[in-house]
């Protein structure tokens, strides 16, 4: 730590934290999705004139955005995503419950209309350590999803592959949130991030008319002075 240059106005590029997960062959994915495959199809060291990679994956693997169209036919798709939804202040809320995000914990946080909320659960520490799919990840409970839809937050981020539970009830949680116009940022890793206020920049791929898209997401702490 240095106390020099207190008056410096130079922007510190290094304080951005990458909360997206690396895409690589063999990484974890939703059980009935295809595996991620990234292969080098041309290599200079094999005599080709360039290095060239090819990838195949489902667009809901790794860090990605769910558009309302994912669970609601004829609703908004990725082409209708506003930059205002994915760029701006965001609050990281830490959840300690070992099963799901419940009202008992959530109501202490005074969630307000229009907020971008990123949930840090134990998923961040636990689930990304393995390429084997974790079925008992922490999800948003029915009552909490209902509340978030009512409040009308702008964006919800969750630190594993789905906002809903694995199996029964998953689609209902998605529909409840997406119907309220909330876009979902799934598959983030908040293990190196503390609860607090941040600015978020998330830029999903411009997949025309798609119901979702892989995304890069970075956040930077906003110091309250």
Task: Just list the catalytic residues.
Answer: 70
Q: Is residue 159 a contact residue for Zn ion (CB under 5 A)?
A: no
Q: How far is the CB of 78 from Zn ion (least distance, A)?
A: 12
Q: How far is the CB of 186 from Zn ion (least distance, A)?
A: 5
Q: How far is it, in rounded angstroms, from Cα 75 to Cα 181?
A: 10
Rule CB under 5 A: choose which of 66, 115, 159, 211 binds Zn ion.
66
Q: How far is the CB of 58 from Zn ion (least distance, A)?
A: 9
Instruction: Find the part of the chain contacting Zn ion (CB under 5 A) among 17-25, 35-43, 59-67, 107-115.
Output: 59-67
Q: How far is it, in rounded angstroms, from Cα 48 to Cα 70?
A: 40
Instruction: Give residues with Cβ within 8 angstroms of 45, minimum separation 6.
Output: none
Q: How far is the CB of 189 from Zn ion (least distance, A)?
A: 15
Give just the sign of the alpha carbon dihedral 173, 177, 179, 185: negative
Contact positions with Zn ion (CB under 5 A) in 172-191: 186
Nearer to Zn ion, 124 or 212 (CB): 212
Nearer to Zn ion, 66 or 115 (CB): 66
In degrees, rounded to 5, the angle at the alpha carbon of residue 54 between the alpha carbons of residues 49 and 60 is 160
Q: How far is it, in rounded angstroms, from Cα 204 to Cα 200?
A: 13
Instruction: Find the part of the chain contacting Zn ion (CB under 5 A) among 45-53, 60-68, 110-118, 130-138.
Output: 60-68
Nearer to Zn ion, 16 or 30 (CB): 30
Nearer to Zn ion, 16 or 166 (CB): 166
Rule CB under 5 A: choose which of 20, 36, 60, 116 binds Zn ion.
60
Please report how the helices 170-179 and 142-151 are oriented relative to each other, as an axis angle in degrees rounded to 10: 10
Q: Is 132 helix (H, G, I), strand (E, B) or coil?
A: coil
Q: How far is the CB of 212 from Zn ion (least distance, A)?
A: 5
Quickly tell me which residue has 């961040």 as its tokens. Answer: 124
CB of 35 closer than 8 Å to CB of 23: no
Q: What tokens does 154 get?
A: 């702008």
Give contact residues for Zn ion (rule: CB under 5 A): 60, 66, 186
């Amino acid at each position: 730590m240095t106390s020099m240059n207190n008056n410096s106005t130079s922007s510190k590029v290094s304080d951005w934290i990458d909360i997206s997960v690396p895409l690589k062959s063999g990484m974890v994915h939703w059980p009935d999705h295809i595996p991620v495959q990234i292969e080098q199809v041309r290599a200079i060291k094999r005599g080709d004139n360039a290095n060239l990679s090819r990838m195949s994956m489902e667009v809901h693997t790794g860090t990605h955005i769910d558009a309302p169209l994912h669970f609601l036919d004829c609703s908004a798709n990725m082409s209708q995503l506003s930059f205002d939804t994915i760029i701006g202040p965001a609050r990281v809320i830490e959840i300690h419950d070992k099963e799901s995000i419940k009202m008992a914990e959530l109501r202490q946080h005074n969630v307000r209309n229009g907020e971008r909320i990123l949930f840090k659960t134990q998923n961040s520490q636990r689930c990304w350590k393995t390429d084997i799919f974790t079925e008992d990840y922490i999800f948003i409970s029915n009552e909490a999803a209902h509340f978030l839809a009512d409040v009308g937050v702008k964006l919800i981020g969750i630190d594993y592959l789905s906002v809903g539970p694995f199996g029964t009830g998953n689609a209902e949680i998605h529909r409840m949130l997406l119907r309220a116009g909330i876009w979902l940022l799934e598959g983030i890793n908040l293990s190196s991030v503390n609860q607090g206020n941040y600015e978020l920049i998330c830029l999903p791929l411009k997949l025309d008319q798609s119901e979702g898209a892989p995304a890069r997401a970075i956040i930077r702490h906003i110091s309250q002075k």
